[in-house]
Structure 1
Amino acid sequence: MVVTGTAKDRFRLDCALRVGADHAIVVESEDPIERVWDLTDGRMADVVIDAASGSNVTS
């Protein structure tokens, strides 16, 4: 599993690594698409979950 975030998310990224994420990408430091490409030998992601988009969900 790969998680991404900003430098402000460092605590959350470190927590994700402690509970099983394989890699954490700080998007200001690395291009997340290029890094995932490298990590997966070009296969990219099977599933992507945007868990903190900031958009409101209404019913």
Structure 2
Amino acid sequence: MLSWALTFFIVAIIAAVLGFSSIAGAAAGIAKILFFIFLVLTLVALVAGAMRGRPPV
């Protein structure tokens, strides 16, 4: 999912440089949403892994 966010971010940068403001805004918005979804899923995975832990040997 992070790769999709980076892809849309690069599309937004290229579109902004070329002057396509509506495409740049849409791509930047999608990249932002995907990045925050990725961030939340990463935090959930980290918390779940920390809570699971290892049983005492």
Q: Structures share a fold, TM > 0.5?
A: no
Judging by fraction of residues, say which structure has more strand: 1
Q: TM-score, normalised by structure 1?
A: 0.29
Question: Which protein shows a greater Rg?
Answer: 2
RCO higher in structure (CA 8 A, sep ≥6): 2
